[in-house]
A and B are shown apart, each in its own frame.
Chain A
Amino acid sequence: MEVDREDGRSQNQLRPLACSRNILHRAHGSASWSQGDTKVLAAVYGPKAGTKKNENPEKACIEVIWKPKTGQIGKPEKEYEMILKRTLESICILTVNPNTTTSIIVQVVNDDGALLPSAINAACMALVDAGIPMKHLAVAICCCLAKSGYVILDPTKLEEQKMKAFAYLVFPNSVRSVLPEGSLRVEGEPIENGIITSVTHGIMSVADYFYCLERGRAASVKLSDFLRRNLQQQSTDSSKAG
């Protein structure tokens, strides 16, 4: 089914991606991620001594601060913080540095749709830049469901507002390893088939949701490739002082 999107992309086409790491000087790790017009800046400080009151001191703790572009911090920002925190807690190896806090600060520079997935991608790259130990990367994508039943990926803000439902999906990145095939499987399935986070808005049927998952998984392979190329290129960085 051919779909006409306003900017001429096809159903499964992502917007142009751009990512740069190590852009801030005081932060231990930083990254800027842009998908089309949506741009997010993430900075990481850590690990710092001590955990917060209600956190488990036997593990490392992750603290997320979400800063919107303008205006006060309200409930949507708190929700984003919580989702980011849970996603990043599941990809970081929390047992390496117990009783420490790693802070991740996300700043929205421009919001043109798919804001939370961009933030998750930016936060992941910032963690890599800071050298925080992780099991694998998180690759986030937004899938929208229109009234007529077709699914589009990576919507702009206008498209998001017109859609019946949309889902933010986070997958582990695709694995390229020298180990034998079978050893990296979890319960018989390859790692990249798993889902780390899924947030949905609006009503969709179960079949539609699984279709979104399929499309999202296929797109996450493309995103993983982009991440891999980006990380390999920027492997020679100037050292940070102070």
Chain B
Amino acid sequence: MDARLANTWRLTLNEKNFIKTALLSEIRIDGRKPFEFRNISINFGREDGSAEVQLGQTRVMGIVTAKFVQPYRDRPNEGTLTIYPEFSPMADPSFEAGRSGESAVELGQIIDRGLRESRAVDTESLCIVAGKLVWAIRIDILILDNGGNLVDAANIAALAALMTFRTPECSLGGEDGQEVIIHPPEMRDPLPLILHHLPIAITFGFFIDENVVVIDPIHNEEAVMAGRMIATVNANGDICAIQKAGEGVSQRVIMQCLQLAITKAADITKQIKAAVEAYNSERALQKIKRETTCVGNSVKGDQNQTLDNKGISELVGKYMERLKLISVESYASKILMLRKSNH
């Protein structure tokens, strides 16, 4: 549709030349140095397994959910992990609703390679009954604001969400040892996922002049750059995945970039772990508050409309436990149906 083309955002030639000329003197238009990453801030949502990452102007949300499935026939002991990237039209005027474009598919593939193929997430621990029942982890990545470098931000969001996600504890029991009992969160603490290492994606942008390399490009720079390399590395110095596209770049430059990526990955890993620590300690505090107030609880009816923060988080905790109870009950009914189908 011609009208849609008219609505796409395009950089003017003057802006493009300005960006390129400035880069030749190692000046970036947002004031950063060529190898400086933007500020990362990680926030968590109400439920376990939901994280929102802000990387400069880029904003990405990662949501992890799990459900029971039958495992694949060739891998009866392993759970599954699937990534669903969603390029929401709110992030960029050129993103369309419905079918995602090729960049969304590429983003999903890169994160998938980093997380699943490098065995960062332990899929064997997701098995409940070998050959019959495993957890299927689904990671939804919602792009809310496109300020450039979506892959890195989405990767961090996925990792943060995975680290804070909890599955209810399941054990085998019943008369014949075949029945799966799901313990509600009030009885037994839900379990975190096992992550062996944290693969961090670092994006480099290459421009026409070979010596010009930037890290973490913003959307203006992305429109101008000639080539791109996304290196997924972890803090141990392992390279999990590399994706390179665009103009040819010499080997020396690539090696330099990989070295740099490993240093940056160490920083980012520290940041993610610190944020997750803070969230976990907050969560533990809330749990303690909940358990001490649950005994002999009588809710008063004369509270003001504006509760203070502590009050709200207490009440929030109570809702979440009850909601989980309802969703766990529906799990239990699915298990009963599974048993019946086995007989």
Given known contacts A27-B145, A70-B140, is B301 in contact with A103 (CB within 8 Å)? no
Chain A residues closer than 8 Å to B220, beta-carbon distance: 242
CB of B313, distance to nearest CB on chain A (Å): 11
| A105 interface residue (CB < 8 Å to B) | yes
| B270 interface residue (CB < 8 Å to A) | no
CB of B140, distance to nearest CB on chain A (Å): 5
Contact flags (1/0) for A95-135 with B, using CB distance below 8 Å?
Answer: 00000000101010110100000000000000000000000
A7 touches B142 (CB 8 A): no
Chain B residues closer than 8 Å to A9, beta-carbon distance: 301, 303
Which B134-156 residues sit within 8 Å CB-CB of chain A? 138, 140, 142, 144-147
Contact flags (1/0) for B181-199 with A, using CB distance below 8 Å?
Answer: 0000000000000000000
A110 touches B9 (CB 8 A): no
Chain B: CB-nearest residue to A158: B322
Chain B: CB-nearest residue to A63: B97
A49 touches B6 (CB 8 A): yes
Which B82-114 residues sit within 8 Å CB-CB of chain A? 84, 86, 88-93, 97
Given known contacts A24-B144, A70-B65, is B3 in contact with A48 (CB within 8 Å)? yes
CB of A95, distance to nearest CB on chain B (Å): 20
Chain A residues closer than 8 Å to B316, beta-carbon distance: 37
Q: Among the listed B65, B145, B299, B307, which residue makes an inter-chain contact with A24, where contact means beta carbons less than 8 Å apart?
A: B145
A26 touches B7 (CB 8 A): no
A37 touches B319 (CB 8 A): yes
Stretch of B55-63, B70-78, B275-283 on the interface side: B55-63
Q: Among the listed B92, B305, B319, which residue makes an inter-chain contact with A158, where contact means beta carbons less than 8 Å apart?
A: B319
Q: Among the listed B50, B93, B318, which residue makes an inter-chain contact with A26, where contact means beta carbons less than 8 Å apart?
A: B93
CB of B137, distance to nearest CB on chain A (Å): 12
Give the distance in Å from the alpha carbon of A109 to the alpha carbon of B93 in the complex.
21
CB of B58, distance to nearest CB on chain A (Å): 9
Which A1-32 residues sit within 8 Å CB-CB of chain B? 2, 4, 6-10, 13-14, 16, 24-27, 30
Give the distance in Å from the alpha carbon of A66 to the alpha carbon of B146 in the complex.
18
Q: Among the listed B46, B63, B90, B142, which residue makes an inter-chain contact with A30, where contact means beta carbons less than 8 Å apart?
A: B90
Give the distance in Å from the alpha carbon of A39 to the alpha carbon of B316 in the complex.
13
| A168 interface residue (CB < 8 Å to B) | no
Contact flags (1/0) for B313-338 with A, using CB distance below 8 Å?
Answer: 00110110011001000000000000
B90 touches A110 (CB 8 A): no
Chain A residues closer than 8 Å to B7, beta-carbon distance: 48-49
B315 touches A7 (CB 8 A): yes
Give the distance in Å from the alpha carbon of A30 to the alpha carbon of B146 in the complex.
14
Chain B residues closer than 8 Å to A13, beta-carbon distance: 305
B301 touches A4 (CB 8 A): yes
B89 touches A103 (CB 8 A): yes
CB of B310, distance to nearest CB on chain A (Å): 13
Pick from A2, A10, A70, A103 the residue with the most CB of B within 10 Å.
Answer: A70
Pick from B45, B50, B90, B92 the residue with the most CB of A within 10 Å.
Answer: B90
Give the distance in Å from the alpha carbon of A173 to the alpha carbon of B305 in the complex.
20
Chain A: CB-nearest residue to B2: A50
B299 touches A110 (CB 8 A): no
Give the distance in Å from the alpha carbon of A69 to the alpha carbon of B49 in the complex.
12
A109 touches B315 (CB 8 A): no
Chain A: CB-nearest residue to B316: A37
| A43 interface residue (CB < 8 Å to B) | yes
Q: Among the listed A4, A48, A107, A242, which residue makes an inter-chain contact with B90, where contact means beta carbons less than 8 Å apart?
A: A107
| B312 interface residue (CB < 8 Å to A) | yes
Give the distance in Å from the alpha carbon of A10 to the alpha carbon of B147 in the complex.
44
Chain B residues closer than 8 Å to A156, beta-carbon distance: 319
Chain B: CB-nearest residue to A44: B90
Chain A residues closer than 8 Å to B47, beta-carbon distance: 110
Q: Among the listed A4, A7, A26, A105, which residue makes an inter-chain contact with B319, where contact means beta carbons less than 8 Å apart?
A: A7
Give the distance in Å from the alpha carbon of A103 to the alpha carbon of B3 in the complex.
14
Chain B residues closer than 8 Å to A158, beta-carbon distance: 319, 322-323, 326
Chain A residues closer than 8 Å to B25, beta-carbon distance: none
User: Chain B: residues with CB nearer than 8 A to chain A?
Assistant: 1-4, 6-7, 9, 45-47, 50, 57, 59, 61, 63, 65, 84, 86, 88-93, 97, 138, 140, 142, 144-147, 219-220, 299-303, 305-307, 312, 315-316, 318-319, 322-323, 326
User: Chain A: residues with CB nearer than 8 A to chain B?
Assistant: 2, 4, 6-10, 13-14, 16, 24-27, 30, 37, 39, 41, 43, 45, 48-50, 65, 67, 69-70, 103, 105, 107, 109-110, 112, 156-158, 242
* A–B Cβ pairs within 8 angstroms, 22 of them: A6-B299, A6-B318, A8-B303, A9-B301, A13-B305, A14-B305, A24-B91, A26-B57, A26-B92, A27-B90, A37-B319, A39-B45, A45-B93, A48-B6, A48-B7, A50-B4, A67-B88, A69-B63, A105-B89, A107-B88, A110-B50, A242-B9
